[in-house]
Chain A
């Protein structure tokens, strides 16, 4: 098994994780914005039940609107969100803009615990794959 470059379990404390809302408050495919440590975060629950958290600021316009975008899925299974401003499409797992790979949204770890959705540390710097695994791993907590 690959090693996850993620914080030690002991480090996943209340201080690193912010409770944001109830899972049932999230409507499939329709995002919400949340303030996490002063930063605007776009939070999505997709049709398959999975959770994604990325930065809410659209890097192409500077407006805080990503949470109002339309989610999607490419044929290879990549989950996406399209900014409502100029319709740029971002990979929800990595934050990368599909048509401009040098631009990316911050990606946050997110988990569901006893009906509450928690947004965790910024994991953008972690490798793409690990970010995805981190999200999955922590959802199971």
Chain B
């Protein structure tokens, strides 16, 4: 990566100066183009090495010789010789040999089953070897070790981490940070052995690794390990330089000056192999890039302007789903420094800032909540704009101050990999916005400035700057709310807000921007969205109010928030008439009830059609007739159904084990139970479900938001499926669940979707973009990794308690009933625009206008 950066920079210098590019030859030991080693673990997501490749060099600009190991350097003759004997001469030689993994020299450390974690070859070999094996041990609990642990976990191995230091990530976090980190990681089922020294690898009769023995205090522990991954640090790869007689440090690393020249001025060394002018070896990519720039500037232009005198070792990363950041003087090593700490062991969040006696920010450690890392890091050396204790509080807590990157000075460096300032990023955003009307994306900003294209930790800050410049896709719901749907959900639930007016007055965009004209109404975007949230939370809010009243979507002011269909609890059709779809849970219906539906359709002259959701749809009802139709249905033991609205639609089923020769579970009963459980539950978008009684999948459950397929031992649960314009097969979330576990998991899934999805976002898209992917979703829903299971289940429980037949409730309430009059001053007059003509023995709308 560092070499790639050096070559790119060298070519750019030549181009900028209008000179022909120098002839560059790159020797690489690996049989691959340059790739992004920082994101090595992401190979496990899609197993596509091409996804990690760095931009190829311009055609013909660079000769790449790979795989080829350089065996020796002859400084007199100015030549290098490769392992296969080829000789090349040089004017200038740049060593970017990186580092080699450190493997503790314990017994059997080279046994089959032992690996290191550094190259694509390594991860491919680990994945291939892990197939069919059950346990793994990672030696090393630092940054690399936790990456490796994540990889082994994703391969399905029961994973243990052995770390010599008393805590994880000893170089980046302190004891408090490590405690939060360890608690989170332990939740994921990773076995952590800190303060433990690896003693030996144990092998079986065939000589293959099967366990490790380690010493913890006085006691020896044995941990099963079909696979052992060494990730206990790296050492500079300086052997070529040593052999050539260049100066190297006592503890390794090629000695260089601030221009990255070695003791031979024709030879430079950059990246992890170099011992920089400040006496340190840097194992991070950002300092490596800075060295590459320093060397390129000096070689191309004899400029000393980019001299490398040391670098910030700040890091932010996501390890096993846990955000960890460490920046500046994280440990408060400077004399007289003080620290402010926020720790929440329940949420497993730890945040610490170190402060100089004069109040300047020195550094910090953030675990579990590092959203504002970019801003805080850029403030190092400055007087923060708010008291440290306010900056420490998690976003949303009372008294918390979020400064955000918009509050930073223009000179603040946001992208430390590429040394890009906030000012440069803002200029790029402004220029991009001028050029086109389309949204500005962080990717475009990256192409212009390189910001965010290194370690990626500043992308959040870039997004935030785009948002504050008004040039990007704001996550705000509409012009009335700057918050996303999910944020509004949190506010409404937290503050127990029960009306749209209260929400708009307290949290609306106009309420926040003082001096603006009072906007006292929302729009057709935010009102239905808030109406839906209020309905989703109706049960909980009613429970909190303690009045025992069952909430209703057409209660009071909520009635004015309901969109098209929810507005009158039926499906609006193109001529202004409505259709009614009686609920038939699971598609199971008695002949008598079927006859009632037929009679209702006949008596009200309705067009009748069987739906795809195993129901019967009755079309052509005038609004004023809806209550009369509902009355007939209610009297026959039906309720009208949610064939409309953003709510559970139907739970489709096959006939299941009761009748089918192949069925293994009673899919009809399960479908009925699910439909009755979740009916009326309002969500960001519609929810469809299905239950199949065996693996033949006749109910097509894998195309539903929630799909259940019977197995011999229980139920397999699929989520995030979709039909329609953008079909998507559902993802398998859990297997062989019993009835209780199935329902509990669906409860949590639906409640999480309601809490976190965007407005009009189906589960398919939401599952696809879920942070941490399906694995994370699974650990949240099934292992309760975020400790919100009870909270999520409470939402559904309250919904079930509060459920009423919405249509019957209208019949019982004169105020609601009055809304169904065709005309307020002529309640019984028919609507003259609703008319029908015959077609195939039924009616069809007589339209006055063509199709839109």
Residues of A within 8 A of B (CB): 18-21, 25, 27-30, 32-35, 40, 43, 46-48, 57, 60-65, 68-77, 79-80, 82, 84-87, 89
Give the contacting residue for A73; candidates B522, B557, B563, B823; CB below 8 A.
B522
Nearest CB in chain A to that of B524: its residue:
A82
Residue-wise, chain B 600-637 has the 8 Å CB interface mask toward A (1 for contact) of 00000000000000000000000100000000000000
Q: Assess whether B244 is interfacial by the CB under 8 Å rule.
A: no
- Residues of chain B with a CB closer than 8 A to A18's CB: 825
Q: Assess whether B787 is interfacial by the CB under 8 Å rule.
A: no
Nearest CB in chain B to that of A68: its residue:
B567
Count how many chain B residues have C-beta atoms less than 8 Å from C-beta atoms of the other chain: 44
Q: Assess whether B819 is interfacial by the CB under 8 Å rule.
A: yes
- Contact A63-B568, Cβ < 8 Å, known A28-B560, A34-B823: no
- Residues of chain A with a CB closer than 8 A to B623's CB: 68
A53 to chain B, nearest CB (A): 12
Decide: B568 and A71 in contact? CB cutoff 8 A: no
Nearest CB in chain B to that of A44: its residue:
B560
- Contact A47-B523, Cβ < 8 Å, known A20-B825, A75-B517: no
Smallest CB-CB A-B distances: 3 pairs: A63-B576, A29-B560, A82-B524
A92 and B575 alpha carbons, distance in the complex (Å): 23
A50 to chain B, nearest CB (A): 10
Decide: A73 and B519 in contact? CB cutoff 8 A: yes
List residues 807-832 of chain B with CB under 8 A from any CB of chain A.
818-819, 821-826, 829, 831-832
Stretch at the interface among B112-120, B234-242, B758-766, B844-852: B844-852
Give the contacting residue for A61; candidates B523, B524, B834, B849; CB below 8 A.
B849
B411 to chain A, nearest CB (A): 34
- Contact A71-B848, Cβ < 8 Å, known A20-B825, A30-B819, A47-B520: no
Nearest CB in chain B to that of A70: its residue:
B524
Nearest CB in chain A to that of B576: its residue:
A63
* Most A Cβ at <10 Å: residue of B516, B520, B576, B623: B576
| 14 residue pairs A–B, Cβ–Cβ below 8 Å | A19-B825, A33-B822, A35-B826, A47-B521, A61-B574, A61-B849, A62-B847, A64-B576, A70-B523, A70-B560, A72-B527, A76-B517, A85-B564, A85-B576
Q: Assess whether B374 is interfacial by the CB under 8 Å rule.
A: no
List residues 77-136 of chain B with CB under 8 A from any CB of chain A.
none
Decide: B517 and A40 in contact? CB cutoff 8 A: no
Give the contacting residue for B829; candidates A35, A46, A84; CB below 8 A.
A35
Q: Assess whether B479 is interfacial by the CB under 8 Å rule.
A: yes
* Most A Cβ at <10 Å: residue of B519, B568, B832: B519
Give the contacting residue for B527; candidates A40, A62, A70; CB below 8 A.
A70
Decide: B576 and A33 in contact? CB cutoff 8 A: no
Q: Assess whether B572 is interfacial by the CB under 8 Å rule.
A: yes
Decide: A64 and B831 in contact? CB cutoff 8 A: yes
Nearest CB in chain B to that of A29: its residue:
B560
Decide: A64 and B833 in contact? CB cutoff 8 A: yes
A43 and B821 alpha carbons, distance in the complex (Å): 14
Q: Assess whether B794 is interfacial by the CB under 8 Å rule.
A: no
* Most B Cβ at <10 Å: residue of A21, A27, A70: A70
B556 to chain A, nearest CB (A): 8
Decide: B479 and A20 in contact? CB cutoff 8 A: no
Give the contacting residue for B521; candidates A30, A35, A68, A72; CB below 8 A.
A72
A32 and B826 alpha carbons, distance in the complex (Å): 11
Residue-wise, chain B 458-501 has the 8 Å CB interface mask toward A (1 for contact) of 00000000000000000000010000000000000000000001
A99 to chain B, nearest CB (A): 13
Decide: B501 and A64 in contact? CB cutoff 8 A: no
A64 and B577 alpha carbons, distance in the complex (Å): 9
Q: Assess whether B145 is interfacial by the CB under 8 Å rule.
A: no
Give the contacting residue for A75; candidates B519, B561, B576, B822; CB below 8 A.
B519
- Contact A62-B524, Cβ < 8 Å, known A28-B560, A34-B825, A35-B826: no
Give the contacting residue for A68; candidates B519, B564, B575; CB below 8 A.
B564
A65 and B821 alpha carbons, distance in the complex (Å): 13
For the complex with contacts A40-B831, A62-B848, A70-B560, 13 further pairs of A-B residues with Cβ separation under 8 Å are A18-B825, A28-B557, A29-B560, A30-B819, A34-B824, A61-B574, A64-B831, A64-B833, A64-B834, A68-B564, A72-B527, A77-B519, A86-B852
Nearest CB in chain B to that of A63: its residue:
B576
Q: Assess whether B559 is interfacial by the CB under 8 Å rule.
A: yes
- Residues of chain B with a CB closer than 8 A to A30's CB: 559-560, 819
List residues 553-608 of chain B with CB under 8 A from any CB of chain A.
556-557, 559-561, 563-564, 567-568, 572, 574-576
B245 to chain A, nearest CB (A): 73
- Residues of chain A with a CB closer than 8 A to B575's CB: 61-63
A33 and B822 alpha carbons, distance in the complex (Å): 7
A18 and B824 alpha carbons, distance in the complex (Å): 12
B510 to chain A, nearest CB (A): 8
A48 and B819 alpha carbons, distance in the complex (Å): 21
Residue-wise, chain B 728-769 has the 8 Å CB interface mask toward A (1 for contact) of 000000000000000000000000000000000000000000
B496 to chain A, nearest CB (A): 21
- Residues of chain A with a CB closer than 8 A to B524's CB: 69-70, 72, 82, 87, 89
- Residues of chain A with a CB closer than 8 A to B528's CB: 70
- Residues of chain A with a CB closer than 8 A to B564's CB: 68, 84-85
Decide: A79 and B833 in contact? CB cutoff 8 A: no
Residue-wise, chain B 520-541 has the 8 Å CB interface mask toward A (1 for contact) of 1111100110000000000000
A20 and B826 alpha carbons, distance in the complex (Å): 9
- Residues of chain B with a CB closer than 8 A to A47's CB: 501, 520-521
A39 and B216 alpha carbons, distance in the complex (Å): 88
- Residues of chain A with a CB closer than 8 A to B567's CB: 68, 84
A86 and B563 alpha carbons, distance in the complex (Å): 11
A12 and B833 alpha carbons, distance in the complex (Å): 30
Nearest CB in chain B to that of A60: its residue:
B852
Give the contacting residue for B824; candidates A20, A65, A75, A80; CB below 8 A.
A20
Decide: A25 and B833 in contact? CB cutoff 8 A: no
A48 and B520 alpha carbons, distance in the complex (Å): 7
A1 and B615 alpha carbons, distance in the complex (Å): 63
- Residues of chain A with a CB closer than 8 A to B560's CB: 27-30, 70-71
Give the contacting residue for B576; candidates A21, A27, A65, A74; CB below 8 A.
A65
B349 to chain A, nearest CB (A): 37
- Residues of chain B with a CB closer than 8 A to A86's CB: 852
